[in-house]
Structure 1
Amino acid sequence: MAASVVRAVLVSTLICSAAPAQSGEVPPPAYQSIAIPEGVPSEVLYAIALQESGTRVRGRTIPWPWTLNVAGTGYRFATRNDACRALQIAIVSVGPARVDVGLGQTNMRANGHRYTEPCEGLDPHKNLRVTAQILAEQKAIAGSWIAAAGRYHRPAGGAPAARYRRAFTKHLSRVTGINLKTETP
């Protein structure tokens, strides 16, 4: 009972306005165990990962841990070692500002200091922890999780952040089972 009350309170803080939808889905255990200590609802962390690294597997969109975005082009690798080699080449080739890594697609220039070495960004647990920390920081500034998601993508805001909020909100609606409306800050 207490867990359902806590979930209801957390989910209610996500909503600007909502209408009923179909049932949601429970984020995988790693998302729950990482999000909660960082003060982030696991549904928010999972929705960010779906937005950032989601790929279709057997007809379903799931986050993919060995994902890179290099100068605007996404790449998914079968193994962490393959992704690590590509990450090292990408950082040298295009610079860390144009490389995003892992489940949360953390930018290597802005957030590389959060990892002991670049390929640590491909460790799913470490990447999710960094992603959750960034989200918590942005929530403290933005006031809501949807606005924080927009700032996660683009702290400066504007049209790119608004587009991101809309896409993120679709994933969050899927996960929570609540038909959420995108906020307009």
Structure 2
Amino acid sequence: MRFYKILFFLVFIVFSNNSFSNQISNCNVLTEKYGKKFNLPNKLLTSISLVESGKKIGDKFVSWPWTLNVAGKSKFFKNKEETLVYLKKNYEKKKNIDIGCMQISLKYHGKEFDNLEHILDPESNVEYGAKFLKSLFNRHKTWNEAISRYHSSIPQKKRGYLKKVQLFWSDLRQRKQYVDIGSNDEKQKKIEFFRKEFRKKKYSSEI
């Protein structure tokens, strides 16, 4: 009997760890997927998601799907259920809430979703964020303007936000560049070097 209890405990730990690992990588996997689908510049959507919902977990800095911004203050929840409980309790009296991986504004974009579960769902959230960013580019004709307006149309807010995104974007593209060049041995050395550098900066090795 004791053996089965231990076995059950070990299985529970493994599945819990896998579930947590999936949550950590979920936003970034989806931003890569929809960045390609909407033909966005390489790593741009991932960079925006890190600015929008970035959270330090251990030695990593990742986009966290269960993130809300309520009246300018970020709130990080453990899981979907906990996030939904807060949303359902507060969304009517606090309309100024940004939700999920891409921090979609409930006030301005909520009508585009069926319900709170829909806007919080990482896949739906990231897909809408990608589509919205592409629409901003089509309207304003430059990526800098599209990035800025993803956050705000107020000049002062636009400038600060653009700088943040450009910092992440530059680092992620630089990393991609070094992974892609050189022989296999050279690649491996460069990969290891930049992994160490990015760990220092708290960037996720899963991006």
User: TM-score normalized by structure 2?
Assistant: 0.67
Distance 1:119 1:108, change over 3 A: same
Which whole-Å CA distance do the structure 1 matches of 2:51 and 2:35 have between them?
Answer: 16
Query: Which of 157, 162, 171 in structure 2 is aligned with 1:160?
Result: 157
Structure 1 counterpart of 2:146, which letter? Answer: A
**Structure 1 or 2: more helix by fraction:** 2
Q: Report the more deviating stretch, 113-122 or 58-67.
A: 113-122
Which whole-Å CA distance do the structure 2 matches of 1:85 and 1:42 have between them?
Answer: 35
**Structure 1 or 2: more strand by fraction:** 1
SS at match of 2:114: coil
Query: Which of 141, 144, 158 in structure 2 is aligned with 1:143?
Result: 141
Between the aligned residues of both structures, percent identity stands at 23
Distance 1:161 1:63, change over 3 A: same
SS at match of 1:116: coil
Which whole-Å CA distance do the structure 2 matches of 1:86 and 1:163 have between them?
Answer: 29
Are the counterparts in 1 of residues 31 and 49 from structure 2 also a CA contact under 8 Å?
A: no
Structure 1 unmatched ranges of 5 or more: 1-26, 179-185
Distance 1:29 1:105, change over 3 A: closer
Structure 2 counterpart of 1:159, which letter? Answer: Q
Which whole-Å CA distance do the structure 1 matches of 2:76 and 2:113 have between them?
Answer: 20
Are the counterparts in 2 of residues 90 and 99 from structure 1 also a CA contact under 8 Å?
A: no
1:61 counterpart residue number: 61
Q: How many residues align?
A: 149
Are the counterparts in 2 of residues 104 and 128 from structure 1 also a CA contact under 8 Å?
A: yes
Asked which structure has the greater CA Rg, the reply is 2
Q: In the TM superposition, what are the counterparts of 1:52-91 in structure 2 within 5 Å? A: 52-91=52-91
Structure 2 unmatched ranges of 5 or more: 1-26, 176-207
